[in-house]
């Protein structure tokens, strides 16, 4: 690897070690098994830090992602923890808006992300102090200000690759012989749920394949950034209705 890459690797390793010292057992790796996430896993495993490796299984993941989970488990001898959405909340959302509601508008897409991603993660991370993520500033305009250590929320978000370029990630992955998600060979540069992600076209940024049918929208799911105020108010209404129906369903099961 070139000196600049080596320097960034050393900085990332130092940050991983510092996070382990500060947060101990209350630390986790959160990944969707894109290139950056695999690099994070590798850095943590090389440091012999025994923390849970977690992913959010939305129920709409591509088959290739499920295969990638098995590949990572076999390589590192670990069991990846799958964070699942509340089945009653999913059922209520689908009954009210349909299974593919995300095509209907940004608020509906935000609702789906809330039910399948944001809320399950919040439940799992309650009581956790910090987590590693593979965010990079270069990935999109909305991530340009990502901090290596973001203490503005709880848990603390740690992004050891914040200042890495795509070339840095590729160089490290090649040097370490890391497995790669199969969808990259099909032209994907960002990989999420199966119906919400496509391959990118020449000249598009890395996140262009997410929710490609939307225009002038923030290409984030809500895990890392909140949608704008107008959408937030709309999705709050949708979410309240979904939770009301889900709560009624749970109550009926307990009676």
Residue 3 is predicted with a pLDDT of: 67
133 φ/ψ angles, rounded to the nearest 5 degrees: -140, 160
> pTM score, two decimals?
0.84
The CATH label, of 3.40.50.1970, 3.40.50.2300, 2.130.10.10, 3.40.50.620, for the domain at 3-254 is 3.40.50.620
Are 196 and 211 in contact, with CB atoms under 8 Å apart? yes
Residue 216 is predicted with a pLDDT of: 61
Are 94 and 59 in contact, with CB atoms under 8 Å apart? no
Residue 47 is predicted with a pLDDT of: 95
Measured CA to CA, the distance from residue 121 to residue 115 in angstroms comes to: 10
82 φ/ψ angles, rounded to the nearest 5 degrees: -100, 120
Residue 224 is predicted with a pLDDT of: 47
Residue 162's CB is within 10 A of a number of other CB atoms, namely: 23
Residue 214 is predicted with a pLDDT of: 87
Q: Which secondary structure element, helix H or strand E, spans residue 40, and what is its range? A: helix 35-46
Annotated active-site positions, please? 221
Sheet holding 130-132, edge to edge: 81-83, 53-56, 27-30, 130-132, 156-158, 149-150
Residue 228 is predicted with a pLDDT of: 47
Are 34 and 164 in contact, with CB atoms under 8 Å apart? no
Residue 22 is predicted with a pLDDT of: 97
Non-local CB neighbours of 147 within 8 Å, separated by 6+ positions: 159, 162
What tens-digit pLDDT sequence spans the chain (255 residues)? 666 678 899 999 999 999 999 999 999 999 999 999 999 999 999 999 999 999 999 999 999 999 999 999 999 999 999 999 999 999 999 999 999 999 999 889 999 999 999 999 999 999 899 999 999 998 777 788 899 999 998 899 999 999 999 899 999 999 999 999 999 999 998 899 999 999 998 888 878 888 888 876 555 555 544 444 445 578 888 898 999 999 888 766 665
Residue 229 is predicted with a pLDDT of: 46
Are 97 and 108 in contact, with CB atoms under 8 Å apart? yes
Residue 219 is predicted with a pLDDT of: 55
Closest CA to 78 of 56, 51, 46: 51
């Amino acid at each position: 690897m070139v000196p600049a890459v080596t320097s960034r690797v050393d900085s990332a390793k130092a940050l991983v070690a510092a996070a382990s010292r500060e947060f101990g057992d209350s630390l986790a790796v959160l990944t969707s098994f894109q290139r950056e996430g695999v690099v994070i896993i590798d850095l943590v495993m090389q440091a012999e830090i025994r923390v849970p490796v977690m992913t959010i299984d939305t129920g709409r993941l591509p088959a290739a992602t499920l295969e990638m989970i098995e590949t990572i488990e076999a390589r590192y001898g670990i069991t990846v923890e799958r964070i699942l959405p509340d089945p009653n909340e999913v059922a209520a959302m689908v009954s009210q808006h349909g299974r593919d509601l995300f095509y209907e508008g940004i608020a509906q897409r935000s609702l789906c992300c809330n039910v399948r991603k944001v809320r399950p993660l919040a439940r799992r991370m309650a009581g956790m102090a910090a987590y590693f993520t593979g965010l990079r500033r270069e990935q999109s305009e909305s991530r340009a200000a990502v901090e290596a250590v973001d203490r503005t929320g709880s848990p603390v978000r740690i992004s050891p690759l914040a200042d890495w370029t795509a070339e840095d990630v590729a160089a490290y992955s090649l040097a370490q012989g890391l497995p790669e998600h199969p969808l990259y060979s099909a032209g994907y540069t960002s990989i999420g749920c199966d119906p919400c992600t496509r391959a990118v076209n020449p000249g598009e940024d890395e996140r262009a394949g997410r929710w490609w049918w939307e225009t002038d929208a923030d290409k984030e799911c809500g895990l890392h950034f909140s949608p704008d105020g107008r959408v937030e108010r709309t999705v709050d209404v949708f979410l309240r209705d979904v939770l009301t129906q889900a709560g009624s369903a749970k109550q009926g099961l307990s009676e």
